[in-house]
Structure 1
Amino acid sequence: MAGSSSVFGGRAGGSLHVFVSFRGIDVRNTFLGHLHHALVREGIRTYIDGEELQKGGEISFSLEKAIEDTRIAVVLFSKNYATSRWCLSELVKIMERRKEGKLVVMPVFYRVDPGEVRTPRKCFAEALAVHESQLGKESIEVMKWREALHEAGNLSGWHLDFNGHDALLPP
């Protein structure tokens, strides 16, 4: 499973409220399920992808449209997030919309340190190295992914550590 395209919270009545970008294998049956339940309970419409995404393909029109239709994006960074080209492409689009002032980005660092996202280390560095080996070291796409990761890693967000404790992180 890749990143974040089925709508759980509905889409009737206009724009979505929240787009959730995530790597399914890490969080779908744990944190994401709890987050989704809480959002729906509060009447917040969400877009959470449930389809298998084609490996190596470009971000789909429906995902781009969902990002454009939302006001808030929750980016759920987890250990395998950067292994997905789809997740990284979503993140680029999300950060572009943020720069335009059209989207609030709320990062959640699920069992990863924000510094690992900001300046790729460990699993993020390994994943980007794989992408570079496939696309080329000077790939514009990989450079955009690195820039988006750096920007998102600098945002204030929530860090959920290995013990399940959470903390609001300063920018």
Structure 2
Amino acid sequence: MTTVSKPALKPDNGSYTKYKVLAAALGTIIPVAVAILHYFPNTFRIEGAQVKMLPAVNAVLNSLTAVLLVAGYYFIRQKNVIRHRTMMGLAFLMGSFFLVSYVVYHSQVPSTKFGGVGLIRSVYYFFLLTHITLAAVTVALVLFTLYFALTQQFAKHRRIARWTFPIWLYVSVTGVIVYFMISPYYT
């Protein structure tokens, strides 16, 4: 008896449209949710929530993400796909933990004002504004880069990863810099 199997789905034939839509939706919804938390900080406040340590946790998560991104880049340059995949998966996981921790913290605490003056104030705001702007774009870039890898569309994965990697790394590193610059002003 001969069995007829369905032809394998080609990754680029549109069969993954629902995942593209999900990536695009999350890439839009997450930055909008963060903006809502910024402009309406007390909307989701829970009385007595203990979140004081989360900025330090966020800095550690951003640092780990940056290290994992660099390791992932190193491994792919060495053509070690398995280790690259592992490092990038861990970077995605750390970034996801960061995002959850960031949202929890900012849903409970109003934004801290930077107290520095002079040139350091300009440096701080340069890092902060570029960090925020690129962070909003990073979510969608990371999700689509991951999508192309998981659907084995490696040419598209490489094309978008050339943009995603440096932007994601910049966002991770500047997140840590911004934390250290503002940490003396936390109450």
**Shorter-chain TM band:** under 0.3
The structure with more strand, counted as a fraction of residues: 1
Normalization by structure 2: what TM-score?
0.25
Task: Give the greater-gyration-radius structure (CA).
Answer: 2
TM-score when normalising by structure 1: 0.27
- Higher share in helix: 2
